[in-house]
Amino acid sequence: MNPQPTPTVFDVQRIRADFPLLARTVHGKPLVYFDNANTSQKPASVIEAMNAHYREHNANVSRAVHQLGEEATAAYEGARDKLAKFINAASRSELILTSGTTQSINLVAYSYALPRLQAGDAILTTTMEHHANIVPWQLVAARSGATVKAAPISERGELLVEQFIAMLTPEVKLACVTHVSNVLGTVNPVREIARECRKRGIALLVDGSQAVPHRPVDVQALGCDFYAFTGHKMLAPTGTGALWARREHLEAMPPFFGGGEMIREVRFSGTTFAAPPHKFEAGTPNIAGFVGLGAAIDYYQSVGFAAIHAWEQQLLAYATERLREIPGLRIIGEAPEKEPVISFLIDGAQASDLATLLDLQGVAVRSGHHCAHPLMQFYNVPATLRASFAFYNTREEIDTFIVALLKVRKLLM
């Protein structure tokens, strides 16, 4: 458990006023939304930015010289500029706009990994990965004759880093690791892993879906080769996300999708492709969604990650302390460095039953395997209940959650 940080002044009620959905009721009770690792709520500024795009600027991007087309293109490409600065990319051209982490990882699987893999090669990942950082590697491994290996974790939910490094053997052509576990909240030592991968000439992909909403990310400082993340977990609309990649990889990789906008010239005798990032962005994108993502970044910057991180760590520490008061409750994953995610079980109660009854009390949490079957198998459980917090949550909501949890536990005992 993280030591409880010194309380800081954080006007969470002012923040909450920016999120319209937080004011609603569910089953006649005030909503307590603790499913932020699944998807975050959206501030009014994001919603309004998307509405304004459709009301005032709606046109396709990069295909028209008229005023609306120029406005739409400026807003869409402006989101790329904001994202590049947000993660400290060396150049905006290193940032491919995608539908989210899943598409980003598949792009690397088919455009970077598959052309390089041969029979006998291996891809190294970890036991705590989301399916999106497992299944694409299995698919390309099956096509190439390669294998997928998984590094072990401890009972506390920490990656056994020395064993991961020991598994970086010559046949490993790509390593893939989550920055923050979506189930455990564990923060992995990406810089150390990246340093060891570089020593061996092994490219490293990082799944940043659960990191980007909670902490500043500097891809240059991390030292990885690919960094994938999703917009809808960071206050932005669904269907948005990005892949950051080193320029030399993007220049060497063939296109993943073919179609309009990713070409220089098309002839039946052959096609020449645009330079990165547009080489990987075929078709009409989710323009309004990325306008919203740009507004989400503006919102994060207006609050500041130092304040966000400090408040979320207070929530994590307080919720962990309160959950320990409940008899028969077992927290799954207690690494010393975590983001605000707690998975747990209660003796004698099914996770799905608990979640259903909590919903009737107005509390939204996630139950299930969380797209992490191998991790559930490691802990020998079919599912967990997961409470995940954001900076717009409050200690009072945690108290409400605990009262509701004690009530539904009593019903199920």
Domain 47-301 has CATH 3.20.20.140: no
State the pLDDT at residue 399.
Answer: 98
Nearest partner of 87 among 301, 341, 252, 309, judged by Cα: 301
Which residues on neighbouring strands pair with residue 338, listed in sequence order?
186
Mapped onto helix, strand or coil, the DSSP state of residue 329 is strand
- The answer on pLDDT for 209 being more than 80 is yes
The enclosing H or E element of 378 equals: helix 373-379
In sequence order, what DSSP letters do the residues of 148-192 get, joined into one string? EEEE-B-TTS-B-HHHHHHT--TTEEEEEEESB-TTT-BBP-HHH
The enclosing H or E element of 204 equals: strand 203-207
Q: What is the mean pLDDT of residues 264-282?
A: 88
What is the reported pTM? 0.95
Confidence at 359, pLDDT banded by 50, 70, 90: very high
- The residues spanned by each domain of the chain are 12-30+304-412, 47-301
Q: What is the mean pLDDT of residues 104-116?
A: 98
Q: How is residue 296 written in tokens?
A: 């989400």
Confidence at 128, pLDDT banded by 50, 70, 90: very high
Active site positions, annotated: 371
Mean pLDDT of the chain: 95
Q: What is the mean pLDDT of residues 134-154?
A: 98
Query: The CATH number of 12-30+304-412 is which of 3.30.450.20, 3.40.50.10190, 3.90.1150.10, 1.10.10.10?
Result: 3.90.1150.10
